Amino acid sequence: MIQINTELLAPFNNLPGGQFVGFLTLFTILILSSYLLATIITKLLSFLSRRTKTTLDDEILKKLKTPLFIFFLLTAIEISILAFYEDVQFYGVALTNLYLISLFILVAFTINRLIDALLVWYGKEIAIARKQKKEEAFPFVRNVVKVLIYIAFLVIILERLGIEVAPLIAGLGIVGLAVALALQDTLSNFFAGIHILADRPVREGDYVRLENNMEGTIERIGWRSTKLKRLDNNEVIIPNAKLAQSTIINFSVPNEKTGMLYEIGVDYNEDIDKVEKIIYNALKKVQNEHPDFVKDSEPWVRFDKFGDYALIFKYGYMVNNFLAQFSVLKTVNKELFYEFKKNKINIPFPVRTIYNEKKKK
């Protein structure tokens, strides 16, 4: 580890007050020097990061500043104590071991901060560019990664302290197996939540319809369950395992724009070409006026089939999102009603003709 040149310590040993004053003087000099060095390094890296197009290096630099200063602080403490109290121990643990353990903890802390920087950068530059919800999985992913990293470094620290880790891991494995058997449903929902966040079949804010015809907006994807808010403003709690196994219609992907399809019937006496034109003009009028009717799309209408009592026309258009369909449909229906009434287009009631044939005697 760190080796101290005793010749360099001579000026500090000759200070009035003995070792303690020498220790404080050396520690103060090292702290000030470390602060100056850390400041120069961060300023230089900051200058270089501003010359790049990506913001990833900026985020990494923000996260590295604190660990860098902590590293210099720990090193200053280590050098100062070794210089004057070489054989000092804390509760039977050598100073060098304490220094190494502190560095292991600092490395674990730094790795977690770097992962945070990567996720923040992903949210700002990648997720937004792809029009994805950027924050949905981050708290969940961060917590899982932090636990795994700290467990790994805890094992390293225990080994450094001379504690046998293998029996401890074996014991934890047996306990873990028993817990896993007792918590099968909970673990199933937990790993299903990981699958949902990784595979992203749904995201927070998406409007979805499940195979049981339940539909609503995904409010939150938790470690055990997903909350879905229905149109009646009630909340449905769905276990992640059931959601992962369900067939889902996601109306928010690949984008929120949604195509709507409807049909309407008119009397058999009406002119087909005239009706098509009236419906199309009504749709174009609503497109120009309604904010949720997609402006760069082309509505369409066609004569579809001969119904039991009416000529059936189908028509369609694009709305900005699934929930906007209701407002747009109301406006379209009102416009069609007024146009049909103005042009005297008849919408027939259901009619059934019954022939009664008398049997000859």
Main-chain dihedrals φ then ψ at residue 296, nearest 5 degrees = -95, 20
Pick the CATH number of 202-250 from 2.60.40.420, 3.40.1350.10, 2.60.120.1270, 2.30.30.60: 2.30.30.60
- Residue 310, helix vs strand vs coil: coil
CA distance 236 to 217: 10
Q: Per CATH, is 258-342 categorized as 2.40.110.10? A: no
- Token couple for 297: 């799309």
DSSP 87: T
Tell me if 131 sits within 8 A of 203, measured CB to CB: no
What's the predicted TM-score (pTM) here? 0.51
Q: Token pair for residue 322? A: 């699934």
Q: One digit per residue, pLDDT tens: the chain, 361 residues?
A: 555 555 555 565 556 666 667 777 777 888 888 888 888 888 887 777 777 777 777 777 878 888 888 888 888 887 777 777 666 666 666 667 777 888 888 888 888 888 777 776 766 665 544 444 444 455 556 666 777 777 777 777 777 666 666 666 666 666 666 655 555 677 677 777 777 776 778 888 888 988 888 889 988 888 788 899 988 889 899 888 888 888 888 888 888 888 999 999 999 999 999 999 999 999 999 999 999 999 989 999 999 999 988 999 999 999 998 888 899 999 999 999 999 999 999 988 887 777 777 665 5
Residues of the chain with CATH 2.30.30.60: 202-250
The tokens 């006496």 sit on which residue? 269
Segments of the chain assigned to CATH 3.30.70.100 = 258-342
Element housing 110 (H / E): helix 95-121
